[in-house]
């Protein structure tokens, strides 16, 4: 869990990791149980490597701040068109209010289904 009081610091730290690895991050946010990072992936950096950098470095930093923090296995990644950037930024900035209406888990499964992404339910929040 990402305690609410730690969220601003973690979001800033994740933004710093992006900056240090040439990933411009226009938005970082989330709730107690998940994060969203909108970032521009540089051509020389594979997505899996970018996620590894973000999770490893932030996990280490959070562990130094408080005991028992670690990210879950896996991640979801979606491309965003330039015309949708403002909408995605607003979505990330308003996570808490948004997830009062729909759980993250339900929304994520619906997103996968909407875009025809096949998945095994036992490996998605299973």
3-class DSSP assignment, residue 109: helix
Question: Is residue 40 within 8 Å of residue 50, measured between CB atoms?
Answer: no
- Which H or E run includes 13? helix 7-20
pTM of the shown model = 0.87
CA distance 31 to 27: 14
The pLDDT value given to residue 20 = 97
> In the chain, which stretches have pLDDT less than 70?
67, 126
pLDDT at 74: 85
pLDDT of residue 60: 93
Q: What pLDDT score was predicted for residue 19?
A: 97
Two structure tokens written together for 99: 């997830």
As a whole number of angstroms, the distance between CA 3 and CA 31 comes to 9
Q: State whether residue 35 is helix, strand or coil.
A: strand
User: What pLDDT score was predicted for residue 126?
Assistant: 62
Give the pLDDT score at 65.
Answer: 85
Rounded distance between C-alpha atoms, residue 124 and residue 75, angstroms: 10
Measured in degrees and rounded to the nearest 5, phi and psi for residue 38 equal -95, 115
**pLDDT of amino acid 58:** 95
- Give the per-residue pLDDT at 84: 95
Domain boundaries, the chain: 4-123
Domain 4-123 has CATH 3.30.70.1290: yes
């Amino acid at each position: 869990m990402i305690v609410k009081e730690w969220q601003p610091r973690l979001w800033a730290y994740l933004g710093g990791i992006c900056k240090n690895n040439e990933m411009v991050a226009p938005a970082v946010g989330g709730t107690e149980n998940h994060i969203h990072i909108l970032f521009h992936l540089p051509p020389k950096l594979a997505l899996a490597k970018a996620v590894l950098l973000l999770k490893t470095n932030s996990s280490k930093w959070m562990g130094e701040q408080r005991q028992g923090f670690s990210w879950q296995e896996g991640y979801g990644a979606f491309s965003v068109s330039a015309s949708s950037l403002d909408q995605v930024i607003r979505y990330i900035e308003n996570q808490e209010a948004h997830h009062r209406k729909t759980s993250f888990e339900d929304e994520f499964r619906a997103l996968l289904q909407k875009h025809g992404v096949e998945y095994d339910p036992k490996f998605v929040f299973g």
